[in-house]
Amino acid sequence: MTSTTVDTPESSLSAEIALPWLARQSQHGKLCRRLYLTALADTPLAILQAGALALLAARLLGEGALLPPALALITLLAVRAGAAALRARFTAGVAADITCTVRNQLAAMLLRGRAARLSSGEASTTLLEQAEAVGRYHAGFALQRRVASLATLLFLIVAFATDWIVGLIFLLTAPLVPVFMTLVGTGAQQAADRQLESLRFLGGYFLDRLRGILTLRAFGREHAEQQAVAAASEEFRRRTMKVLRIAFLTSAVLELFAALSVALVALYVGLHLLNLMSFGPGQLLDFRTGLFLLLLAPEFYQPLRQLAAGYHERAAAQSAAEILAPLLQEQTGEQQASASALGSAPAICMDTVTFRYPDSEQPTIIHLDANLPAGHCLVIRGDSGTGKTTLLKLIAGLLLPDAGQIRHDDQLLRPLAAEPGRLAWAGQHPWFIHGTVADNLRQAAPEANDAALHQVLARCALSDLPLGLDTPLDENGGGLSGGQGRRLGLARALLSPASLLLLDEPTAELDPATEAHIIQTLREEKGQRTIVIATHSPACAALADQSLWLGEPPPESGGQPDA
């Protein structure tokens, strides 16, 4: 099976951008320092444990009190077990902190204007799998790399201080781990990239089939789609197993190297204890020192084995970073670039904007130009289906033009919606949360008191709600009529601190008196905010400082768009 992916800027991001972003995510782990200290504490505890066990064994065969080394050994075992438990706890905490932070950033990006870049399946995979890979990397491989470097140095110091031949064995065999990891690194990274690509494709493919299950049943395509999903799953399984094969192969080879190195130390110590070898300082070895070196050898390679076992985490995290970094870095950069403009009404400039939906043969908007000064009102008019709502989404940054540019003041409007508090949208079918009218209004202004809520309801002709602020709602506005739901969406937009209002048919289905009331409310907002309105209503169109016709202009306009 051949998988397909969406061609996005993330797919061409170089490691020069992805790797620095990945490294910076460690700052989100609240327990990183504690985790590092508990992980590093295992090295001196292992050395002391080997010394205590060697002393206890030597006294069992010779003379001397057994209680002190026995108590020391029991204490060291308990402390080491406690340190391992703390490390496991801190590892889970660091991974969870980093994963949660990345997921929160991704969720904000998806909800505020970048969802058009990713399919639903890709978005779910990004939130779940890729964010978790970043957390696992920093709590696992990245930390163990630092621990292994210092632990190796400490073990070498102790080994050379005890017997320089054993220290030399450690020094010559230790580089085998990073060398072998480097050799398999390219293959592991390529396998991880292919596995992640397959996962992203499978997530979107399966979700699309679930959404269209009724259509598939209507056309008798159930069996064919079951086979297609099975083939996609088999491809993902095959690529996952290839990643695991590389990971287990790496661990197996390194275990072999570690076992051979321990065997060399055992051979050296054993020959000297049997007086079969006189080379080096080994002739001065006694039973206690020899046993200490034998016990030290497997502990020396343990941090390196743990590093190798987590090498696949590095490959998975780098693959995820190439997807996540451009999404989150672009959002952060745009927020910083326009932070100084928050609170001021923006000017909107559209320069030869063209947009076509992927499933459409003809562009919805072609070479559109418009300039809206700050604080003015632009009214978009045209027949149904000419692209009024699409243009609002382009201005919001919810969609990106295929050609041309949309600017907010001097900054590209991509995505404007990712800037908290910058714009407010009141659509034709607003969505609400389960709760009361007050709960939904406070989504835009959490600190607003009841007096402010009553005031904005009055401005939107909603003072006659039967239960007032306590009126219950569901996601679709159940409990309100269609016109009341649309006006509540407008009230929520007006209550927000947004400097740009995007309104889609705000006066549709209203009687003349209520429409006039809403129009007067919007007129009061002019000058304080920039307003863009899509409407069919001539009365609402009278608010315009500028009008823009989409499609064919009406005959009474003389064939020309309104000025």
Each residue's pLDDT tens digit, 392-447? 888 888 788 888 888 887 665 544 444 556 788 888 888 888 888 888 888 888 88
Q: Is 7's pLDDT higher than 50?
A: no
At 553, list the tokens: 């202009």
What is the distance, to the nearest Å, from the Cα of residue 116 to the centroid of all Cα atoms in its chain?
16
Q: What is the pLDDT confidence band of residue 183, given thresholds at 50, 70 and 90? A: low
Residue 252 pLDDT > 80 = no
The answer to whether the peptide bond before residue 497 is cis (omega within 30 degrees of 0) is no
Size of the chain in residues: 563
CA distance 96 to 131: 10
Q: Are 316 and 175 in contact (CB under 8 A)?
A: no
Question: In this predicted structure, what is the pLDDT of residue 413?
Answer: 55
pLDDT tens digits, 318-376: 878 877 887 776 554 444 444 444 456 788 888 888 888 877 778 888 888 888 888 89
190: pLDDT strictly greater than 70: no
Q: What is the pLDDT of residue 337?
A: 43
Q: Exposed, middle or buried: residue 9 (CB in 10 Å: 0-12, 13-18, 19+)?
A: exposed
Distance CA 324, CA 318 (A): 10
- pLDDT recorded at residue 128: 79
Rounded Cα distance between 128 and 516, Å, is 48
Q: Are 446 and 421 in contact (CB under 8 A)?
A: no
CA–CA separation, 423 and 343 (whole Å): 10
Q: How far is CA 106 from the centre of its chain?
A: 5
Q: Tell me the three state secondary structure of residue 466.
A: coil
Question: Cα 254 vs. chain centroid, distance in angstroms?
Answer: 33
Ranking 2-11, 121-130, 178-187 by mean pLDDT, the lowest is 2-11
How confident is the model over 284-288, as a mean pLDDT?
80
pLDDT for the residue numbered 44 = 93
Report the chain's mean pLDDT, rounded to a whole number. 80
Q: For the chain, give me the number of helices (H) and strands (E)?
A: 18, 11
Q: Point out which residues pair with 348 in neighbouring strands.
A: 372, 408
Q: How confident is the model at residue 48 (pLDDT cuts 50, 70, 90)?
A: very high
10 Å CB burial of residue 231 (0-12, 13-18, 19+) is: exposed
Copy the structure tokens of residue 402.
């295929």
Residue 186 has pLDDT above 80, yes or no: no
State the pLDDT at residue 158.
Answer: 93
Backbone angles phi, psi at 156, to 5 degrees: -65, -40
User: Beta-carbon neighbour count of residue 22 at 10 Å?
Assistant: 23
Both tokens of 273, joined, read: 């204890």
> Among candidates 91, 303, 325, 321, which has minimal Cα distance to 189?
321
Most confident of 23-27, 541-545, 551-555: 541-545
**4: confidence class by pLDDT, cuts 50, 70, 90:** very low
Per the structure block, which two tokens stand in for 264? 């060399």
Which has more pLDDT, 225 or 183? 225
Local confidence band at 188 (pLDDT 50, 70, 90 cut-offs): low
3-state class percentages of the chain: helix first, strand second, coil last, to nearest 5:
65, 10, 25
Q: Which residue has 């409007």 as its token pair?
A: 413
**Amino acid identity at 509:** E
Q: Two tokens at 558?
A: 């003389």
Half-sphere exposure of 208 (CA within 13 A, CB side): 13
Which one-letter DSSP state was computed for residue 416? G
Q: What is the pLDDT of residue 80?
A: 93
HEC states along 504-523? ECCCCCCCHHHHHHHHHHHH
Half-sphere exposure of 271 (CA within 13 A, CB side): 12
Q: What percent of the chain has pLDDT over 90?
A: 16
Residue 385 carries which DSSP code?
T
Tell me the two tokens of residue 125: 């995979």
Q: Determine what percent of the chain is predicted with pLDDT higher than 70.
A: 83
Angle between the 131-139 and 67-109 helix axes, to the nearest 10 degrees? 150
Weakest-pLDDT range from 106-120, 186-200, 342-356, 492-506: 106-120
Which stretch of 28-42, 151-165, 269-283 has the lowest confidence by average pLDDT?
269-283
Q: Which residue's entry shows tokens 């402390």?
A: 79
Unique residue bearing structure tokens 């287990």: 248
**pTM, entire model:** 0.57
- Most confidently modeled range among 36-40, 110-114, 315-319, 408-412: 36-40
Torsion of CA 390, 394, 395, 398, to 10 degrees: 110
Is residue 198 packed enough to be buried (19+ CB in 10 Å), middle (13-18) or exposed (0-12)?
buried
Residue with token string 């003809």? 362
Band (pLDDT 50/70/90 cuts) for residue 16 is: low
Q: What is the pLDDT of residues 300-323, one digit of tens each?
A: 988 888 887 777 788 778 878 877
Residues forming a β-bridge with 294: none
- Give the Cβ contact number of residue 98 at 10 Å: 25
29-58: buried (b, 16+ CB within 10 Å) or exposed (e) per residue?
bebbebbbebbbbbbebbbbbbbbbbbbbb
Helix 141-162 to helix 32-61 angle (10° resolution) is 30
Of 440, 508, 502, whose CA–CA distance to 113 is shortest? 502
Higher per-residue pLDDT: 164 or 250:
164
193 pLDDT higher than 60: yes
Count of other CB atoms within 10 angstroms of residue 381: 25
